[in-house]
Every structure is written in C-alpha cells, then in structure tokens.
Amino acid sequence: MSTSAMANERVTETKGAPNEGPNPVLLWDTIHGHQRSAALRAAVDLDLFTAIGAGCTDVSAIAQRCEASERGVRILCDFLTVAGFLSKQDGRYSLTPTSSAFLDRRSPSQMTSVFRFLHSDKVLSAFTNLAQVVKQGGTVLQEGGVTEPELNEWVTFAESMTPIMRPAAEFIAELATADGRRPKRVLDIAAGHGLFGILLAQRAPEAHIVAQDWPNVLRVAERNAEAAGVADRYHLLPGDAFTVDFGSDFDSVLLTNFLHHFNKAVCEGVLQRIHRCLNPGGRLFILEFVPNTDRVTPHVPASFSLMMLGLTPEGDAYTMQELETMLFNTGFTGPELLEVPRSSQHVVVSTK
C-alpha cells in the first residue's frame, strides 16, 4: 500500500462518525485547514503537479524543475501526500487521478486558474472576521460584497473560472438542444465568461445569443465568443440584470450561478422579468448549488451557504423546494432537478 493510501486510511479510522465520541483529529485538521489550502495554492504557483506529471518524481528533480529548495519541496510533497493529492512510494512521488486531471497544466481538464478568483484578496478577506459576519447575518465587505455593481473581481471570475464551469456548460447545451430542439434566441443572464451561451451556439447553428452582464465583464465574453467562432451570433447587452431591458421572443434563458447571491424576494423579481421575455413554451435553465432539505447534505452544496454568508448581504444556497416555490410564484411550470455530470451542481429546467 502506498504512503498516501495508508495516510488516508489512518485519517478515516481516526475521524470516525460524528457520534463516536470526542475527536481531536477533526479539531486539529479544521484549525489548520488554512494550511491545506495554502499548500495546494503553493504547489499550483510552483507548477509542482506539472513537474511530477512530466517525470520529475524525486525531491531533487522536482526542486530543480520548480526552482525551489529541496527541503521545502520535500515537506510540501509529503504534506500533499497526506492530504491525498500525491502518492509516495520508495521516496518518489506520483500524481493521483484527481491531481492528474485537475492540477497538471498539461491536462485538458486542468483547473489551476480557479485560484485567481477563489483565492482573490476580496474573497479571502470576507472570512477574516466570520464571527462578525454571523452576528450581522451577512457580509462585512463594503458595497454589498460580490453583489457590488461592476465589481472587478467578476472580470477575474470570467477570466479564470471556465475550467470548473465547462461540465455544467456542456450539460446545459445538451439539454437545450435535446430532442431536436434548436433555440433561435437565447438570453444568457450574468454571462461572465460567456461559456454557457457559446457552447449552446456551437451546438445550435441557428441560435443567436444575447449575453447580459456588466460592460467590463462582457469584454471577456466577447473575446471568448470570437475565439470560439460564434462572434457573428453573439450579441452584448451591458447593464444591470435587474433593470436592463432584456427584450423579448427568447426560446431559452440561461440563469447560471446567479440566484444564490440574493434573497428570495429579489430572486422572484428577476424570475418575473425572465418570464415576461420568454416565448410560450420557452425554457429557463437555472444552474445552482442545491442542498437537500436537511441543509447539511450533500456536503459541497450544503457548505456553499457559508460562502454566500461571507460574500453577500442576503444570499443563500436554495433547496429544490425553495426554488420550486420561486418558480411557481413567477409563472413557471414543471421544474425538474437534474444532476450535472462531473460536478457538485444541479440544473433546474422549467417552462413558461
């Protein structure tokens, strides 16, 4: 058994179930959780996973490739082995399936760029005084946190988050064109990088995409549309999603990673505006982190509420029951919850 496998087995045995008694390992791991993310970020910054994937498997070779000290590399690699991102055998390191797929820059599914947004100064600073956030029930960041108009961090999001969003974008494009459907007019609200509308346009040659977002963000989406060869069918709608005129006669509307930033009343307001701009029979595709009704499972969607607590005044991760209520209240019918492959998110499809 490799060192990483034995380490993971030890952690599993020690942590146990929540009701098995006092657990000092859980406490220790959580107190030092910041070191885990810092180690992963350091490895990405050093391009350590790419070095190992390319054949540098001992400390000396890795250190030389990464231009780092052998002591530092040895300690970092051992820590990443304990954390489950590397395997170690006979003093040599190798990538795990996860690090090979997502952290080796040569991989077509690599996600190293997501650190630029998820570890940006603004995002991290939202959690430096979480006790105060809990006391007041929302972000302590100025100007509404990440809901601030024309926030520069959304440009960073658009430039860096496409790898982690691609599975969902591919899935929505498939759903929107299934059973021979060929939407001709598609509205992509808070388009960001534009990937959702762009992939749909590539699958549906008749489709014209109207991408709505702040002007500074749409510049990124426009570049991506040009690179994807769909710029002639990609139209920009700069402005605020709550006030800009969406237009009308849309066959599909994409509302991805949007609702969780706002309270239910605000969400229903934008859903009403979407309902008015859709053709009869038109469909709305919502992408969200959707926890179960117990709000503690599955762990990624359930944990996402804390991110919204720190980053927004009133945002939340909504259950399917809550989303259904919002949709029914705004005239939509037949909402269906679909799990996104290779993702912790769900798509909710509803019809006008």
Question: Do 312 and 240 fall into the same domain?
Answer: yes
Do residues 31 and 85 share a domain?
yes
CA distance 226 to 229: 5
Percentage of the chain surpassing pLDDT 70?
95
Mean pLDDT of the 75-87 span: 98
CA distance 205 to 187: 15
User: Which residues are CB-neighbours of 128 under 8 A, at least 6 positions away?
Assistant: none
Is 255 within 8 Å of 286 (Cβ atoms)?
A: yes
* Domain end position, chosen among 66, 95, 110: 110
Average pLDDT estimate for 37-64: 98
pLDDT of residue 4: 41
- For residue 126, being part of any structural domain is answered with no
pLDDT at 7 over 90: no
Asked if 63 and 165 sit in the same domain, the reply is no
| Same-domain pairing of 33 and 96 | yes
> Do residues 103 and 197 both lie within one domain?
no
Which band of pLDDT confidence, cut at 50, 70 and 90, is reported for residue 21? confident
DSSP 178: G
Question: Would you say residue 21 lies in a domain?
Answer: yes
pLDDT in tens, 289-300: 999 999 999 999
* Of the residues 93, 110, 127, the one at which a domain ends: 110
Cβ contacts of 89 within 8 Å, gap of 6 or more: 2, 3
Domain containing 150: what range? 142-351
Residues 255 and 164 in one domain: yes
Q: Is 172 within the bounds of a domain?
A: yes
In a domain, 294, yes or no: yes
CATH number at residue 43: 1.10.10.10
Q: What is the pLDDT of residue 296?
A: 97
Q: Are residues 221 and 74 in the same domain?
A: no
**Which pLDDT band, with edges at 50, 70 and 90, does 14 fall under?**
very low
pLDDT digits (tens, 9 = 90+) for 119-160: 999 999 999 999 999 999 999 998 899 999 888 999 999 999
198 with 346, same domain: the answer is: yes
* Lowest mean per-residue pLDDT among 18-22, 31-35, 229-233: 18-22
Average pLDDT of span 270-294: 98
Confirm whether 132 is domain-assigned: no
Q: What is the mean pLDDT of residues 58-64?
A: 98
User: For the residues 71-97, what does the mean pLDDT come to?
Assistant: 98
Mean pLDDT, the chain, rounded, equals 94
pLDDT at residue 84, as a whole number? 97
User: Are residues 182 and 168 in contact, defined by beta-carbon separation less than 8 angstroms?
Assistant: no
Whether the pTM exceeds 0.85: the reply is yes
Q: Summarize the confidence of residues 209-227 as an average pLDDT.
A: 97
Residues 266, 174 share a domain:
yes
Q: Closest Cα to residue 208, out of 193, 225, 223?
A: 225
User: Is 65 inside any structural domain?
Assistant: yes
On whether both 256 and 149 belong to a single domain, the answer is yes
- The pLDDT of residue 20: 77
How many domains would you assign to the chain?
Answer: 2
> Is there a domain that residue 118 lies in?
no
207 and 346 housed in the same domain = yes
pLDDT of 63 over the 60 cut: yes
Residues 269 and 206 grouped into a single domain: yes
Q: What is the mean pLDDT of residues 239-246?
A: 96
Domain contains 117: no
pLDDT (0 to 100) of residue 17: 58
Name which of 112, 135, 116 is nearest 124 in CA terms: 116
Q: What are the φ/ψ torsions at residue 177 (nearest 5 degrees)?
A: -115, 10
